[in-house]
Amino acid sequence: MNAGVSIGAHPGFPDLIGFGRRNMEILKDELENYVLYQLGALYAVAKAEKKQLTHVKAHGALYNTACSRVDYAEAIVKAMKSFSRDLILIAPQNFKIAEVAQAEGLKVGFEFFADRNYTSQGTLVPRTHENALLKDINQIARRAVKVIKEGKVESVDGKEIQMNVHTICVHGDTPHAVEIARNLRKSLENEGIAITKLCELI
């Protein structure tokens, strides 16, 4: 925290043995409660350290599904608004959840997944596919620099996708994640791109 790190909630489906990476069919009201529950739990732990939550990013399958499924997007946004209108939603640009959040008055930080391949529709290649994860550290850094500077990313089938980006994700369980993140940060800085807190950016 003294390192300038912001704290955000990462609510997901109640599927611990699947690490929240499998889709579940849940009623909208139930999902809203699950998100509230997780926001509140983290809020309390942060409060004991005299820290605040600044943002929310859905986890795993909930993130992917809420991109296009309106009831899930609405449940997440409703829970966030009930909890605090100052929370920033992290979501990809051009998807339903970002649209719903902005229509409801929440700020949205657009996200890019540095270690994942994209389809030409701008969705992530699912983890069950072979080429879901990128492995070449320098390729990962080059893609990140390009998306920040030009707003463009190449899809898995060679198309160019437009994408505005405020924040970049490297998954903590991607092999060599720390090395990937360090190299990526250095590449951004070498290009003169300053790294700042999300709440100061949007």
Nearer to a second copy, 22 or 152 (CB): 22
Cβ-based nearer residue to a second copy, 43 or 161: 43
Shortest gap between Cβ of 142 and a second copy (angstroms)?
Answer: 33
Nearer of residues 26 and 153 to a second copy, judged by Cβ:
26
CA dihedral 50→51→52→58, nearest 10 degrees, is: -130
Question: Toward a second copy, which CB reaches closer, 3 or 17?
Answer: 17
Instruction: Considering the complex, state which of residue 125 and residue 141 has its C-beta at the smaller distance from a second copy.
Output: 125
Phi, psi values for residue 88, rounded to 5° = -95, 135
Task: Identify whether the C-beta of residue 183 lies closer than 8 Å to the C-beta of residue 171.
Answer: no
Measured CA to CA in angstroms, residue 192 lies from 89, 150, 162, 188, 195 at distances of 26, 14, 22, 7, 10
Least CB distance to a second copy at residue 137 (A):
25
Q: What are phi and psi of 113, to 5 degrees?
A: -95, 105
Residues 6 or more apart whose CB falls under 8 angstroms from that of 109 comprise: 55, 88, 89, 90, 91, 166, 167, 198, 201, 202
CB of 40 to a second copy, least distance (A): 3
Residues that bind a second copy (CB under 8 A): 14-18, 22-27, 30, 32-33, 36-45, 47-48, 61, 79, 82-83, 128
Alpha-carbon distances, residue 48 vs 34, 38, 144 (angstroms):
22, 16, 35
Nearest distance from C-beta of residue 150 to a second copy, angstroms: 35
In angstroms, give the least distance from the CB of 82 to a second copy. Answer: 4
